[in-house]
Structure 1
Amino acid sequence: MNMQNDLLTASKIRELANGFQVSRIILTAVELGIFSLLDKHLVSSAEVAKQIGADARATDRLLNALVSLGLLNKVHEKFYNTDAASSYLVKNKPEFMGGLFHTNELWKSWGTLTNAVKVGTSVYESEKSEGDWTESFIAAMHYRAAKEAKILAMMLNLNSAKKMLDIGGGSGAFSMGMIENNPALKAIVFDLPDVTPLTKKYVESFSHKENISYVEGNYLTDEFGDGYDLVLLSAIVHINSYEQNKILISKCYNSLNIGGQIVIKDWVMSDARIEPFGGALFALNMLVGTECGDTYTEKEMREWLSNAGITKVEKKNTSYGWSLIIGTKN
């Protein structure tokens, strides 16, 4: 998506500005558990309202809007899920988009964008407990990572890798994906103390769970150890400032064996910072949600690696928007 290539009529601008309405309808339905309630059932709006503890008229109007969006069907004043809603919006289904609970949190933080632009950093204070936020965030990241991990593993040469460090590894999805590609690989998932219990839950059912171990700490202040053949930074550098990343990459370099690789998986911006489109939006997501996060250009990432002592760097594009910057220690 690139608005620069579109003819922006007044009607199109109005459509873009009003896009929040559709987003809010979907997020409210997910938040209220409507799709899970309607799974394999034909239910009136009055009964839905009763079960979710909401106003009957207001619930009816919400369900009607979901019909207009193609997420519900309506027959004889009763509602049921479309195939898409049944597949992706019902809890405990394999393809459930649980990450939308995190998107609901982003709705709140993005509402502070005007003030964040004025002061230059996040002004958002979450209403939810830290534990709830962390769990919904990890769930959102896992939903994406589980699909991306297999692709990433195929894009890297893991044949000779024996030990990897997964910094800020969250659910451990990428470690699991790498190990599936190379069962001889041992992975250390490095993350904060409140994340590690969640990681262990995701890894528990993994067929090679004995290949994964855990280290708790802060990647900006704590040491990583050494002897790694691969250090993965998936969706990490955008959380930090330029200078913090400079320090982080140097720490990663010091932990690598000769011939080992640092893999940065993130938005890689053009020098003008307007492409890719998703990265331009994500820079604002970091503005409203972090103290100093941002998206970075390929030039900036190469500067971090060069500063650490790496001269062999390559970029690989992916099919899901983000790119890989791979630095090899000589």
Structure 2
Amino acid sequence: MRRTQRWIKLFKSSQFSIMLEVLKLNAEWLQELLKLEELKTFAVLHGCLKLGLFEFLEKPRSAEEISKEVKLSHRAAKAVCRFLSSKGLLIEEGGKYRISEISKVFLSRRSPFSIAEVFEEKREEIEFWLNLENTMKGENLRREADFFKRRIRVLGKIALLKDLKFVFKIASLEEFRKAKRLLDLGGGHGLYAYAFTLLNEELIADVFDLPEVVNSAKDFLKPFNAQRVNFVEGDFFRDELGENYDIVFSSFNPGGKRAELIPKISRALKKGGIYVNRQYFPADGFGIEDLEWNLWGFERLKKASKAYTFEGDLGLGEYISKLEDNGFKVFEVFSKGYTAILARKL
């Protein structure tokens, strides 16, 4: 009996000690992760897109009308509308709901700027991550061909939300206002080139990219009725880039940190021309983007281990030095989640 009591006392003491150690662990981030708030918000928007709710609410509707037409319970219809209103996606007036301007532009499928297809692509991406155990075994790796088939369109639609605003920074330059020709190097979807032509009525923009990219980009850009935007097929590692450009613009393209492209860029520019290069240079640590980078492959280029880097890429300081060695004067460098380098050909 006494031996049993000693064992019970020892067990309780051990459990108490373990509990104290558990409470000292820093696991708050796991609790926040398990709330799944961003995933739940994504699911709400994805579901509303599938139901056609944003098109239905182009005219003001009551929760009762929504419930009947979209076939939701009245309680769910009202709750969803209140949530979407809190996000600025719906406007409530007199007990009725209608889509806001941001929803009309980005979430209604009737809009040429609709990101509905992005939500579907992202749903598939979630499935990819939820089956990560197979990918980590070397199965189901995403390939370059998949990137060209759908990713060009998706990247273009995502750029509309934020990244495309970078064109206003370049448009503020005196050289841009006087520019006649611009080369969008590795320009993919072509929206940057299109936006630049809207900000300079005299500008002609050429988008230079691989043939398979150009084919997808032409189809993608058709609904925008882009004027003064041309597509040039080529491989910037093998081919010359043209000449007599006032501006060469490069945004996150795979060759943007490679020394061997700098002389080609110089030859493509007029004297006094501007080179704008926007890139991700590796940060310290190893985050989720770095992990993802290692889970899909480019056949043409060998990836390095850090996100958006390839073997042979230069660091920021090295890249600036190479620009100066090739007759460029760097006049501005700034970071905003990415690094932008602005240089003038001397």
Give TM-score scaled by structure 1 length.
0.66
CA shift in 2, pair 1:137/1:199, >3 Å:
same
Unpaired runs of 5+ residues, structure 2, are 1-24
Q: Distance in 1 between matches of 2:191 and 2:178?
A: 21
Whether 1:170 and 2:170 are equivalent positions in the alignment is no
Deviations 1:89-130 (A, max 9, x none): 2233587545743544543444466666776x9823699896
Structure 2 distance, partners of 1:63, 1:118, is 45
Q: TM-score, normalised by structure 2?
A: 0.64
1:323 aligned residue: 339
The 1:182–1:13 alpha-carbon spacing in structure 2 relative to 1, beyond 3 Å, is same
SS of corresponding position for 1:35: helix
Judged with a 3 Å threshold, the aligned counterparts in structure 2 of structure 1 residues 189 and 130 are, in CA distance, closer, same or farther, namely closer
> Does structure 1 conserve the Cα–Cα contact (< 8 Å) formed by 2:256 and 2:279?
no
Q: Distance in 1 between matches of 2:98 and 2:314?
A: 47
- Matching residue of 1:303: 318
The SS at the match of 2:33 is helix
Q: CA deviation at 1:231?
A: 1.4
Gaps of 5+ in 1: 1-7, 50-55, 275-279
Which amino acid in structure 2 is aligned with residue 253 of structure 1? S
Equivalent residues of 1:67, 1:73 under 8 A apart? no
Specify whether residues 288 and 129 from structure 1 end up closer, same or farther in structure 2 by C-alpha distance, changes over 3 A only: closer
Alignment partner of 1:175: what SS? helix
Match of 2:46 in 1: 27
* Residue 152 (structure 1) aligned to one of 155, 158, 170: 170
Contact in 1 for aligned 2:114/2:157 (Cα 8 Å): no
Which residue of structure 2 lines up, in the alignment, with residue 197 of structure 1?
Answer: 218
Aligned to 1:312: 329
Could you tell me how far 1:233 is from its partner in structure 2?
0.8
Q: Which of structures 1 and 2 has the bigger CA Rg?
A: 2
- Corresponding residue SS for 1:170: coil
Higher relative contact order (CA 8 A, sep 6+): 1
- Post-superposition Cα deviations, 1:262-313, rounded to whole Å, max 9, x if no partner, equal 211233455x268xxxxx65545544455337246x9714424534634533
Instruction: Give the 3 Å change call, closer, same or farther, for CA 108–132 of structure 1 in structure 2.
Output: same
Q: Please report how far the alpha carbon of residue 236 of structure 1 lies from its aligned counterpart in structure 2 after TM superposition.
A: 1.5
The aligned amino acid for 1:21 is K
Q: Indicate the residue corresponding to 1:140 in structure 2.
A: 158
Identity across matched positions, percent: 22
Q: Number of residue pairs matched?
A: 298
Residue pairs, 1:127-276, within 5 angstroms:
131-155=149-173, 157-191=175-209, 192-198=213-219, 200-201=221-222, 204-206=225-227, 209=228, 212-237=229-254, 245-270=258-283, 272=284
Let me know the Cα RMSD of the aligned residues. Answer: 4.6
- Of 35, 52, 55, which residue of structure 2 is paired with 1:36? 55
Report the Cα distance in structure 1 between the residues aligned to 2:134 and 2:262, rounded to whole angstroms. Answer: 32
Q: Is the 8 A contact 2:269 2:345 kept in 1?
A: yes
DSSP-derived class of the 1:190 partner:
strand
Match of 1:48 in 2: 70
Measured after TM superposition, the shift of residue 182 of structure 1 is 3.9
- Is the 8 Å Cα contact of residues 274 and 345 (structure 2) preserved in structure 1? yes
Q: Deviations over 1:199-240 (max 9, x none)?
A: 65155254xx3xx32212333443322232321111324xx6
Report if the CA contact (8 A) 2:281-2:339 is conserved.
yes
Equivalent residue of 2:215, what SS? coil
